[in-house]
Chains A and B, each alone.
Chain A
Amino acid sequence: MSISRNKTLFRDVSILDSTGAEPYRGDVLVDHDRIVSVGTTSPGAAKDARVIEGRGRTLMSGLCDAHTHLTWNNSADMDGLGTLPVEEHLLFTVESAKTFLDSGYTMGVGAASAKMRLDVVVRDAIDAGRIPGPRYLANGPEIAVTGGALVKGITVFADGPEGMRKAVRELIEIGVDQIKLSMTGEEITGTQRAEDTYFSDEEVAAAVAEAHRRGKRVCAHARSAESVKMCVRHGVDIIYHASFTDPEGMDMLEQAKDWVFVAPAVNWLIATLYEAADFGYPPEAAEAAGYKRELEIATEAMIEMHKRGIKVLPGGDYGFAWTPHGTYARDLQHFVERFGFTPMEAILAATALGGEIMQRPGELGKVQPGYLADLLLVDGDPLADITVLQDHDKLNYIMKDGRFHKETPEAN
């Protein structure tokens, strides 16, 4: 009997389908790039399929990182993001794209590129099947106003509404999927405070209007209370960090919860506060800079957002020396342990909401008939222990578009 290269039957798996239903045992059939049946499969439909014996292992959607920087190069300092020569930087970006897929992440939302076209060309190479990587929404360098850049070497500068429109147009011309506004500071810079807001209302409004007019989305580095409100007022689609959201901003987010996404990138706060000493930034310095205070305030904010039904997604700004690529699933542990998500809620945020933030809610992020076959076969139960997703050895099979990126030889 011939075995089809285009059909795969996952037999006797625990199906974690990301609809919110409890996992259940059954089969999942994949034909070409799509899931065709979930639960039961007729023998005829599975004829000639390659069979993967699940033996009760968990079959779930691939994960989404809502705050991805493929070009962040595991640098030990902020300026290092910009100083790597473009040739080496491209190699690194290709490697980090593969690392995302190796880690079970089949979706990534680009949150800024360290150089103009790195995100775009790597996205295109992934889409063309030339290199392995997640489905990826590419970004350009973040836009900052004069005096408001976090790292000058990775920034496009623009001032005033006309300047914003021009910068947005230039980035759209190179092929980005979305635009990043760097609206507030970041304490590790030592000079740009997290609660400072550098953009004006007019600048945000112009950038968003221009991007939306061209069918592109806008995301923003927005830590301050005022920046969060500015984002909602002017229709910024994805708000990163949102640490200092005040009661008025919280109400505005709740009013906008049908369309706005928040991704706190909490691992950055945690690791920078507690785990960066080996790279010259001890906890005492981080606390003095304000990271402990910000972490506590941001935690309260995310708990409140979750309570109000605002869409909060994992995605952690990974790619610094103390927040290295490949450790993305740590965000899910933080959502459970710090924000009070149940493991199911954390997984839904990283899968079903991932499909939404990728703008493909009808075909990404769930194990359902008709969805694209981006699947993980996990040796373990992530609802019992969310940390299992951090262990690459437990990700026995990784499939994207119906094709295996990783296959673990079965023990006899």
Chain B
Amino acid sequence: MTLLVCRTCPRYAPQHSGEFAQSLTAALTTAPAVDKIDVRKVHCLGGCPNHGVVAIDGPGKARIRFAGLTAHDVQAIIEAALGHDACLTGAPEDWHVPESLADRISSITLKRAPRHAHSPSR
């Protein structure tokens, strides 16, 4: 599964922009089970008013964005990513969202699977 980390948080404080990604990435490197997660540092996740933003995504699954995080949330983030990966839909009602993150979901982006199957690209 993919863990998307905002690399510009806090966007509205340019002198501190990027600090969240740096601290979270450092915390992730030593966290257990991080090798099971594909971390992508993306430019922004659009959850800026409550900075410290990550999202959990997977092919065809709901993308769940969390905001107001710090590096101290690293274990809960990993737990969430693994839970999201283990369920079919990614929708929060289908997996256990860690208690410390439950009120920090800032968006749920539903996907739509293509109507017809495509052959693999390669």
Residues of A within 8 A of B (CB): 22-23, 99, 102-103, 270-271, 274-279, 296, 299, 303, 321-327, 337-340, 342-345, 383-385, 387-388, 390-394
On whether the beta carbons of B114 and A393 are closer than 8 Å, the reply is no
Q: 5 closest A-B pairs (Cβ-Cβ)?
A: A326-B43, A340-B114, A391-B40, A274-B109, A324-B44
On whether the beta carbons of B59 and A337 are closer than 8 Å, the reply is yes
- Among B3-11, B29-37, B71-79, the one that faces the other chain is B3-11
Supposing A271-B46, A278-B67, A327-B44 touch, asked if A390 and B4 sit within 8 A by C-beta, the answer is yes
Supposing A343-B121, A392-B7 touch, asked if A303 and B46 sit within 8 A by C-beta, the answer is no
Q: Would you call B98 an interface residue if the criterion is a C-beta within 8 Å of the partner chain's C-beta atoms?
A: no
Q: Which residues of B contact A326 (CB under 8 A)?
A: 8, 42-44
Chain B nearest Cβ from A304, distance in angstroms: 10
Which DSSP category, helix, strand, loop or mixed, fits chain B's interface?
loop
Contact pick for A337, options B106, B112, B116, CB 8 Å: B112
Chain A nearest Cβ from B61, distance in angstroms: 9
Q: Which residues of A contact B116 (CB under 8 A)?
A: 340
On whether the beta carbons of A391 and B46 are closer than 8 Å, the reply is no
On whether the beta carbons of B41 and A392 are closer than 8 Å, the reply is yes
Q: Which residues of B contact A278 (CB under 8 A)?
A: 46-50, 67, 106-107
Chain A nearest Cβ from B109, distance in angstroms: 4
Q: How far is the CA of A114 from the CA of B68 in the complex (A)?
A: 32
Q: Which residues of B contact A338 (CB under 8 A)?
A: 111-112, 114
On whether the beta carbons of B48 and A337 are closer than 8 Å, the reply is no
Can you list 23 A-B contacts with CB-CB less than 8 angstroms, sorted by A residue number? A99-B43, A271-B46, A274-B110, A275-B107, A278-B48, A296-B112, A303-B114, A303-B115, A324-B44, A326-B42, A326-B44, A327-B43, A327-B45, A327-B46, A337-B60, A337-B111, A338-B114, A342-B118, A342-B119, A385-B38, A387-B2, A390-B40, A392-B42
Contact pick for A327, options B42, B57, B65, B106, CB 8 Å: B42
When C-beta atoms are compared, the residue in chain B nearest to A391 turns out to be: B40
Q: Would you call B91 an interface residue if the criterion is a C-beta within 8 Å of the partner chain's C-beta atoms?
A: no
Q: Which residues of A contact B48 (CB under 8 A)?
A: 278, 321, 324
Q: Would you call B27 an interface residue if the criterion is a C-beta within 8 Å of the partner chain's C-beta atoms?
A: no
On whether the beta carbons of A387 and B112 are closer than 8 Å, the reply is no
On whether the beta carbons of A275 and B46 are closer than 8 Å, the reply is yes
When C-beta atoms are compared, the residue in chain B nearest to A381 turns out to be: B122
Supposing A274-B110, A340-B116 touch, asked if A392 and B46 sit within 8 A by C-beta, the answer is no
On whether the beta carbons of B114 and A279 are closer than 8 Å, the reply is no
Q: Which residues of A contact B11 (CB under 8 A)?
A: 324
Chain A nearest Cβ from B69, distance in angstroms: 14
